[in-house]
Amino acid sequence: MADLRRLSALCGEVAVVGVGETDYGTDYVRTRRGEKPYDSYGYAALALNRALADAGLTKDDLDGLIVGGPIAYERMAEIAGIEPGWSGSGDAPTSVTQAVMAITAGFAETVAIVYGNDQRTAGTAYGGPQAMGGEAILSYVYFAPWGMTSQGALYAMMTRRYMEVHGLEPHELGQVAVAQRAFAALNPNAVMRSPIDIDDYLGARYIAEPLRLYDYCLINDGGVAMILTTRDRARRGPNPLVTVAGLGRADENIGATTLRPRLVTFYHEGHAKVREQVYGTAGIGPGEVDVLGVYDSFSCHVPYALEGMGFCEIGDAGKFLVEKGVGPGGAIPTNTSGGHLSESYMQGWNHQPELVRQARGTAGERQVPDVRHTQFVSDVAGNVISVVYRSER
């Protein structure tokens, strides 16, 4: 069980001092023409250089490196030309958590977390007989004899079950895709910027019923990087101070092979534990979150997170999406860059710079007014994890 007293001691002491991303929209057009601007390491290196420039630092200021995606730590450090005293790997929120722990424990002062992925041009298979991931991804192996290797099919089953239990209607779920496309239309770096309405959503073809085309994430190439350092050092940097104010993690593994966490609880048991941790360490509740980021490989993640984090009651997500909204001007603006559905599929990494920019007040046309707290939530395969960022302006 998490010790909130000790966990709270980590929070507020580490700041995000630099963020960097690659040119998602431009590179998507180039890859569709058959070009390959970079491999995974090239995208990661470009993002890292941009994050360092944003922070007003150089590679010589780094003494920690954490990597995500298909890139390897040793090779990334070699390419970047650094000899870190601390290293690690993980998904986006895990990498943020590792960086916070390394810095507060004294292993490093300034840590880069870096992701790169050339998944589109590399032809990465996220389902089917050649699905990549092996035994690290349960469905690719366990359900293969029945052909159930597609993540989309698994989330379609989960969504259908949720619809039967809680009465979610297609036009309610569609609000997620419409809202995120509205934000992407305001984001010059997004891949998909043409607005859609609910009729466009409902008129789109099914991929795995009840999930339609606009419920699915993009597949594109790109890279993301962030620089984290001590609160004191960040104060001397060029950007408004944004700290890591809250952290939480809980996994649902028991019954995973029978899909119990997906089909019975919709990961809400994990959400409840994480909600206590992340809000307890940040000293806030969901009502004080100004911008929400949700890992959205499929649109259905958003209603699960809204309920699980307490933005609405269990079973009320559909009503919340229609009546209160998650788009521009909505009750809880969500995935304000366009998220995975419309901006870029960077496996949760592109959400982090967006949440930092919103906290800084530098998100341009899509900036939400008066942002103090932003939150990221991921519940992929029952691994529920959350980060709260706080503006110290």
SS3 93: helix
Q: Which pLDDT score is estimated for 222?
A: 98
Separation CA 184–CA 337 (nearest Å): 6
Please indicate, yes or no, if residue 129 is contained in any of the structural domains.
no
Q: Which two structure tokens, joined as six digits, stand for 5?
A: 């007293």
- Averaged pLDDT for residues 167-186: 98
pLDDT of 211 higher than 90: yes
pLDDT of amino acid 257: 83
pLDDT exceeds cutoff 70 at 84 = yes
Say if residue 251 is exposed, middle or buried (CB neighbours under 10 Å; 0-12, 13-18, 19+): middle
**Is 80 exceeded by the pLDDT of residue 214?**
yes
Provide the β-strand partners of residue 378. 385
CATH of the domain at 11: 3.40.47.10
Instruction: Tell whether 93 is covered by a domain.
Output: yes
The total number of structural domains in the chain stands at 2
Question: What is the pTM assigned to this prediction?
Answer: 0.97
Find tokens 């960022």 and name the residue. Answer: 389
**Which residues are 110's β-sheet partners?**
229
The DSSP letter of residue 8 is H
Tokens 């969901």 belong to 286
Residue bearing tokens 């919103």:
358
Asked whether residue 250 falls in the same domain as residue 372, the answer is yes
Report, as an integer, the average pLDDT of 158-175. 98
Least confident of 63-67, 345-349, 355-359, 379-383: 379-383
State residue 145's pLDDT score.
77
Report d(CA 393, CA 161) in Å as an integer.
Answer: 44
pLDDT at 135: 53
Looking up tokens 């994050």, which residue turns up?
Answer: 51
Task: In whole angstroms, give the CA distance from residue 305 to residue 377.
Answer: 7
Would you mind telling me the total number of residues written for the chain in this entry?
393
pLDDT at 132: 63
> Is the same domain home to 228 and 318?
no
CA distance 385 to 123: 28
The identity of residue 214, as a single letter, is: Y
- Where is average pLDDT lowest: 251-255, 275-279, 301-305? 251-255
Residue environment code for 190-208, b if the CB has 16+ CB neighbours within 10 A, otherwise e? bbbbeebeeebbeebeebb
Going by C-alpha positions, the residue among 265, 215, 218, 217 that lies closest to residue 382 is: 265
pLDDT band at 69 (very low <50, low <70, confident <90, very high): confident
Whole-angstrom distance, CA of residue 190 vs CA of residue 21: 11
User: What's the pLDDT band for 7 if we cut at 50, 70, 90?
Assistant: confident
* pLDDT(5) > 90: no
Are 228 and 250 within one domain? no
Output the average pLDDT for the chain: 95
Residue 85, both tokens: 């005293």
Q: Per the domain annotation, does 139 fall within a domain?
A: no
386 domain-assigned:
yes
Angle, nearest 10°, between helix axes 73-80 and 40-55?
Answer: 60
Question: Torsion angle of alpha carbons 307, 308, 313, 314, nearest 10°?
Answer: 90
Residues 228 and 372 in one domain: no
For residues 189 and 250, membership in a common domain is answered with yes
Whether 68 and 34 share a structural domain: yes
Question: pLDDT digit string (tens) for 289-307?
Answer: 999 999 999 999 999 999 9
- Tell me what pLDDT residue 171 has: 98
- Judge whether 26 lies within some domain: yes
CB 247 within 8 A of CB 13: no
- Please check whether residues 31 and 59 belong to one and the same domain: yes
13, 81: one domain: yes
Is a pLDDT exceeding 80 seen at residue 258?
yes
Residue 231: domain span: 4-123+221-235
Cα angle value 290/194/379 (rounded, 5°): 45
